[in-house]
Structures are given as C-alpha cells and as structure tokens.
Structure 1
C-alpha cells in the first residue's frame, strides 16, 4: 500500500487534514487510539472562548461528543446568511467586498452576529 500522508490523531485537526487531503486527491491514513474519531475531546468538558462564526460552529460539532460551554462577553446573536436567495459569501465574492482591506477599520466593533439562521438550539445533557 502506498500512501501520501499518515495522520496521527482523529481529533478536529486530524479529521480536517484528512478531509482536505482527500479533496485534493491525496491518499491518507488516519490513526486514532480511541474508538471514535473525536480525539481527546470525547466525554470531556470543553470551554470555547468567543462567540464568532468559528466558535459557534466548532462548539456545535464538539457537542456531539463532549460537554461544551461557549464563553462570550455578550449574548450570541444570529443573522440570516442569505440575501436575495444567495449566501452572503457569494455576494462578497461577486461584488469584490471579500478583497477590500477592511481590517484597519474594524477595531472597536462589537462582536459580529453569527452568520447562521440559529438552528442550533439547546442540548439537553
């Protein structure tokens, strides 16, 4: 057997690496010591700090395997990610807004709403 990459650990980074290698047409073998591909998060308490898009999505995915707390300064707000039937990212690419150097102008802006309709709902654990 000839493989391009050997990935040790089936946690979030290992699974993401395997996914992207497969999409790129590369062969990979993922080794995980546990019985489920969740790495060291399985049945652990995980605190995710921040309430942006990435934090909310990661918390949602990890909540399937671990006890997750999302620590934020302010309550999380959700914003519909669609405008006129298209995802906001589609509009940003089409209009060129995704390439504007906005970083220097974003200081002091409060936490942005999570770009999602907010279908996450509370988990009863």
Structure 2
C-alpha cells in the first residue's frame, strides 16, 4: 500500500477510479440483488440515472470484466446484463461499505454541521 501516490498503475487507484462513482456502485449492487436484468428494468430500478449515464456505466463495467452483456437475436432485440464472477466478488465488499455508511451517517452529518459552523 506504500507509494500509491507515485504509482499511476496502482491497482487500488485503478479500481477505485472505476467503481468509485455512485452509478457503478448502484449498478453492481442492483445486479447483485436482482441477478440478470434487461436495460430498461435496470434503468427503472435505479431510478434517478439517465439512460446515457447507465449506458456509459455499463460499458465501463463491461470493459473491466465486472458485468457481461448478452444480446439475443430477436425482434425486437433483447439485451441482458449480469455480473461476472469477478463482479459477484465485489458485491459483499460494497454491501459492507453501505453498512458502514449507514452506521456512521449520523456522525458524519453532525461533523459536517460543526465544520460548516466553524468555517
């Protein structure tokens, strides 16, 4: 873990850069809970994401091998997304982060309030 700030190929930086945004986390955790999903169902389940941002996020997660896309040659075309084996291993870690956030949010909000009053 030493010298992360000097290594542009640091695995921690590289992974956090990809999954560190809320959309990636929401896509991964949603697919982890729901299993295989079609685009529109994923879009409706997440709720406040734009279709463009969901498309971009899914492509990035596919690029990293965390999500797989399967297209069926039907009319109309059917496309399904699912977590890869690697993506599945990330779900418990993200769930642990969510549990930590829920357990500590009250204190974080209080600290923010105190900080805002002082600054």
TM-score (norm 2): 0.23
Higher helix share: 2
